[in-house]
Amino acid sequence: MHNADYLEIDGRLGYVEVVGDGADTLLCVHTAGQSGVQYRNNMKGLAALGYRVIVVDLPGHGRSEPAVNGPVMDIPYYADWCKKVLDQLGSGRRYLLGCSIGGRIVLEMASRFSAELEAVVAMECPVTPATATRFRPPEDSSTPSVRDQTYYSNLALIGSDVPAETAEMIATMHCREDWHVTRSDLIGWGLHDLWQRLPDISCPTYVISGGDSFGEALRPTADRIPGALFESVKGIAHYPNQEMPNFVESFERWIEELRQANVSAQGGR
Amino acid sequence: MVSGTDFSPASDGALPRLLPAITQAPPARDAVMASVQWEQGARPKSVGVRVEGVVTRWKPARKRGRGRLHQDVRLLDADGQVVETARVAWDVPAASDGQDDESASRVAWDVGTVAWGKHLATRLASNEQFSSAVQTFDGTVGIRAGEELVEFRIYRGKVIEVGKKSLDGATFTLGGTERAWIDLLSSPKNDLVSRLGRNEFRSTGNNYQYLRIFKAIMLMIDEAQLAAAKEKPSA
C-alpha cells in the first residue's frame, strides 16, 4: 500500500504519504526547508521491514500548506504537529526517525511523549546548552542568489564516500525549497532549548551522526539521553538516509541493537 | 613541495618547539631564514610527533641574486592535529631555484600574483558558465593569498582587466593564507564552502555582491584547480 493524503491539522492541510501495511508505525521527518521526498528511496524498504511508514511534509514544506502564522520558528510546534499526525494515522508500536531539524523534532517528541514511543532514531542533530536568543528574520533584499547558496552549501554537507552523481542529486533536490521556510527552520533550531530536557527521554534512542559532519560532536547529545546508543557513520555527512546505500539495513540494525540494549521500551499501543 | 619528518620533542617542553626543526631542515640548499611567523595550533598542549613542511611560494631570483621562498611548517600530534604552525620566509641563492624561473610551470599555483590572475582569466574567457554567472556584474573581484593580491575587473560577463589594483578597488576580496590556497588547489574536489566554514578563507568588502556571484567564484576555483592539476606543485 502506498497512499497519499492531506490531513487537516491546526486549520491547514498537511501532506503525508503512508507506505506499507505493517502493524507498527514509523514516522519519518525531513530536514530544514525540505520535504518527505528525502525518504523517496527509503520508504518502501523501511515498509518491507514490517512498518507502516508515514512520511510527512512539515507545514510550509513540500506539498503541505503553510502554518496559519506563516513560516515556523518553533521546533516544539513541529513536534506537536507530528504528534497530531501520529494520533490520526498511527497504529501499533510507534517509532520515530528524523534528520537534522527532523532529528531535533523526534527528540523533542521523545522528551515529552516517551511513554507512547517504542524507539527513536535521531540523525545529525546535536543538542547543546547554548541556544540563540536573537535572530534576523528572512529578507529577500539581503540575501541574493539563494539557489546558488543552497546548492553549494548542500554539496558541502555530503560525505566523502558518496558518489558525485548522488551528491549532485541531493544538492539539486534541495534547491526546491522556499528559503524563508528554511531560514525559519534554522532559526527554530537555534532557539530550540532541549539540553535540559534530554534526560527526560525514556524510550530507546539511537543517535546517528555522519563521520564527515558532526561526527563525535554528537556523542554528548547521546550521552545525556538515558541508555541512548551512538554511532558515527564513516564517509557520510549530514543526510544519512540519502547518502547511505544500505540505509534500510542500517536502520534495521539500529532498531535491533536498541531492542537488545537494556532500555525499557515504553510502547505506544 | 611537501616534506615530512618524525619529530622528537624537546625535553623541557618549552614553546615554541617547532623552531629547532625548521632551522635544522631548510627547504633548499643554502637557504637563509629571513622571517618566521609562529602560532600555536588547535592543540597547543598536545605532543608533537611529526613535522610537515609545504613550500607555498617561490619567488625567483632577480637583480639581488637571491630568491625568496615561503614555507608553511606544522608540528602535528599523533591524531594529525596541529600543535604549532609557522610561516617561514627563506632567502635562497639563484642556484637553488634554477628550476623555477618566471616561465616555469609554477604559475597555476602562484595564487594572488598578476601572472596567476592572467593565466586564470585566459581560461575563464572560454568558460561559458562563468560568463553567464557574471553577465550582470560590474565590479572587481580580489583574490588574496597571503600578502599577494590580484584583482579581476569584470564587466558584462568578461574579465576586462587583471592587475594588482583596479581604479576603484575590489568590490570584494576572497582571501586565505598561501597554505590554504595550496590545500584548496590540491583538493580532489572544490570544497571551498567547507573551507570557508573552517575559516580557512574569508571574504571582505561587499558581502552582498560576494553572495550574488558566489557561483562565479566557485567556477573560478574550478578553473584554478584544473590549471593546477596540469602542473606540479611549486618545487
Question: Does A133 reach chain B within 8 Å, measured CB to CB?
Answer: no
State the ipTM, two decimals: 0.85
Q: What is the pLDDT of residues B193-218, one digit of tens each?
A: 999 999 999 999 999 999 999 999 99
Residues of B in contact with A144 (CB under 8 A): 208, 211-212
**Chain B residues with CB within 8 Å of chain A CB:** 189, 191, 193-194, 197, 208, 211-215, 218
Q: What is the pLDDT of residues B114-163, one digit of tens each?
A: 999 999 999 999 999 999 999 999 999 999 999 999 999 999 999 999 99
If you measure CA to CA, which chain B residue comes closest to A212? B194
Convert B128-162 to b/e letters by CB count within 10 Å (16 or more is b): eebbebbeebebbbbbbbbebbbbbbbeebebebb
Grid cell locating B81: 592535529
- Return d(Cα B56, Cα B194) in angstroms, integer: 21
Identify residue A260 by its one-letter amino acid code.
Answer: Q
Residues of A in contact with B206 (CB under 8 A): none
Per-residue confidence band for B30, with pLDDT thresholds at 50, 70 and 90: confident
**8 Å CB contact of A145 and B194:** no
In the block, which residue shows the cell 568578461?
A: B158
**8 Å CB contact of A144 and B194:** no
Question: Does A149 reach chain B within 8 Å, measured CB to CB?
Answer: yes
Residues of B in contact with A152 (CB under 8 A): 193, 214-215, 218
Which of B132, B174, B184, B189 to mutate: most A Cβ within 10 Å? B189
Which of A145, A183, A212 to mutate: most B Cβ within 10 Å? A145
In the block, which residue shows the cell 604549532?
A: B84
What is the mean pLDDT of the segment spanning A87-112? 97
**8 Å CB contact of A155 and B214:** no
Question: Does A163 reach chain B within 8 Å, measured CB to CB?
Answer: no
Q: What is the pLDDT of residues A141-200, one digit of tens each?
A: 889 999 999 999 999 999 999 999 999 999 999 999 999 999 999 999 999 999 999 999
Whole-prediction pTM = 0.89
Residues of B in contact with A143 (CB under 8 A): 211
Residues of B in contact with A164 (CB under 8 A): 189
Grid cell locating A254: 539500529
The residues, ordered by sequence, that sit 6+ positions from A175 with a Cβ below 8 Å of its Cβ are: A147, A150, A151
**8 Å CB contact of A142 and B191:** no
